[in-house]
């Protein structure tokens, strides 16, 4: 589906984390791989933090929210019911946490990356 969107939008790249490239079932020249950090455009950066999949990522848009910054997390980070903490999950329906050994980064490394992303304004 992403390749079809790429074609419809004039051949824009489909960005796939190197850690998740084995999941690509339809190789295509529009697919570009990246690792750890990738600047999509000025003030718009993808950060690989691990989580649901080793290549799970967040997008940091520094200009969003009137310059306060926005962190787009999709299903990489899950808000806990207390609305004060977050977690990385392996199975969302069953709320099974993702173990450090199973992610591409340890939880401390992932949290350090997130802190840098959020504080880099």
pLDDT at 49: 84
98 and 84 in a common domain: yes
51 and 25 in a common domain: no
The DSSP bridge pattern shows strands 89-91 and 57-61 to be unpaired
pLDDT at 120: 54
40 and 13 in a common domain: no
Instruction: Report the C-alpha gap between 58 and 56 in whole angstroms.
Output: 7
Residues of the chain short of pLDDT 70, as ranges, are 89-121
Hey, which residues does 91 pair with through a beta bridge?
A: 96
In this structure, is the dihedral angle defined by the CA atoms of residues 16, 69, 90 and 104, taken in order, positive or negative? positive
112 and 98 in a common domain: yes
43 and 96 in a common domain: yes
56 and 28 in a common domain: no
95 and 82 in a common domain: yes
Q: Which parts of 11-102 are beta strand (E)?
A: 14-17, 31-34, 37-41, 44-48, 57-61, 70-72, 78-79, 86-87, 89-91, 96-97
Q: What range defines the domain where residue 85 resides?
A: 36-119
47 and 95 in a common domain: yes
pLDDT at 12: 94
Q: Looking at the 3D structure of the chain, how many domains does it have?
A: 2
> pLDDT (tens digit, 9 = 90+) per residue, 56-80?
889 999 999 999 888 888 777 777 7
74 and 17 in a common domain: no
61 and 13 in a common domain: no
Look up tokens 């806990």; give the residue.
80
């Amino acid at each position: 589906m992403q390749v079809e969107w790429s074609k419809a939008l004039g051949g824009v790249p489909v960005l796939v984390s190197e850690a998740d490239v084995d999941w690509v079932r339809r190789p295509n020249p529009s697919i570009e791989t990246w690792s750890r950090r990738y600047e999509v455009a000025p003030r718009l950066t993808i950060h690989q933090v691990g989580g649901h999949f080793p290549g799970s990522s967040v997008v940091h848009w520094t200009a969003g929210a009137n310059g306060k910054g926005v962190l787009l997390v999709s299903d990489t980070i899950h808000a806990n019911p207390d609305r004060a903490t977050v977690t990385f999950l392996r199975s969302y329906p069953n709320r099974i946490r993702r173990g450090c050994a199973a992610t591409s980064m340890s939880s401390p490394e992932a949290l350090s990356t997130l802190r840098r992303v959020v504080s880099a304004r």
